[in-house]
Amino acid sequence: SQQGEEDPQALSIQEGENATMNCSYKTSINNLQWYRQNSGRGLVHLILIRSNEREKHSGRLRVTLDTSKKSSSLLITASRAADTASYFCATDEVGAQKLVFGQGTRLTINP
Amino acid sequence: EAGVAQSPRYKIIEKRQSVAFWCNPISGHATLYWYQQILGQGPKLLIQFQNNGVVDDSQLPKDRFSAERLKGVDSTLKIQPAKLEDSAVYLCASSLGLGRWDTQYFGPGTRLTVL
């Protein structure tokens, strides 16, 4: 079963603009992670945010977590063509020892 | 540092045939994962090993899927017999430990098409 639901399913923006993707989940979590998948490739870990954290930054990435709303957002600032990929949130549920991935947001950056 | 290796990269078979995938994790990584990713969906965990013991195989269709990790290093995933709905990308990942803070490193995947 998949816990996270990403929104939107697809996003197309111009290079240089900011991209925001959202993830909602259903149960209590220990942490939430974001991964990127380029076409035909495996997933690459981007960032992990713990359940007691509200915001985290890594380069051009900013992740927020609202455990009361069971939601997270990933912001990519100053987007580049190389950011074109699918982005997945994955939750580490309390009581489980595995990650559960959402269905992903397909991001296209137009030059 | 070498990444997670998988082979083959692509496989086409007919339904009811058998197929096997191989994964070599990053050296020293204790935990190995097999995921199934159907087109347009996120990866779904099939089985998780720590060293050569199974941690979680609750979503593995055990009537047709099997996996082993002999000697706690590389692993094989087998499907016998394959069904049309098994068409997917099979991803292998590894992590240093089993802790929830451990980053999972993914291989490039094997794309399986069942005709």
Which residues lie across from A39 on neighbouring strands? none
B101 touches chain A (CB under 8 A): yes
Cα–Cα distance measured from residue B49 to residue B51, given in angstroms and rounded to the nearest whole number: 6
Is A88 in contact with B42 (Cβ distance < 8 A)? yes
| Residue from the list B55, B98, B108 with its beta carbon closest to the beta carbon of A41 | B108
Nearest chain B alpha carbon to A50:
B101
Q: Chain B closest CA to A44's CA: distance in Å?
A: 7
B5-95: CATH topology: Immunoglobulin-like (2.60.40)
CATH no., domain A5-110? 2.60.40.10
- For chain A, which residues make up each domain, given as ranges? 5-110
- For residue B42, give the nearest of A2, A42, A98 by CB distance: A2
pLDDT digits (tens, 9 = 90+) for B2-26: 899 999 999 999 999 999 999 999 9
Q: Report whether pLDDT(A2) > 80.
A: no
State the pLDDT at residue B97: 82
Give which of A109, A61, A59 is closest to A86, Cα–Cα: A109
Tokens of A11: 């996003």
Question: Tell me: the pLDDT tens digits for A29-87?
Answer: 999 999 999 987 889 999 999 999 999 999 999 999 999 999 999 999 999 999 999 99
Q: B30 and B72 in contact (C-beta within 8 Å)?
A: yes
Contact A109, A79 (CB under 8 A): yes
- Selected residue of B50, B94, B104 to mutate for chain A interface (largest A Cβ count, 10 A): B104
pLDDT in tens, B58-89: 999 999 999 999 888 999 999 999 999 999 99
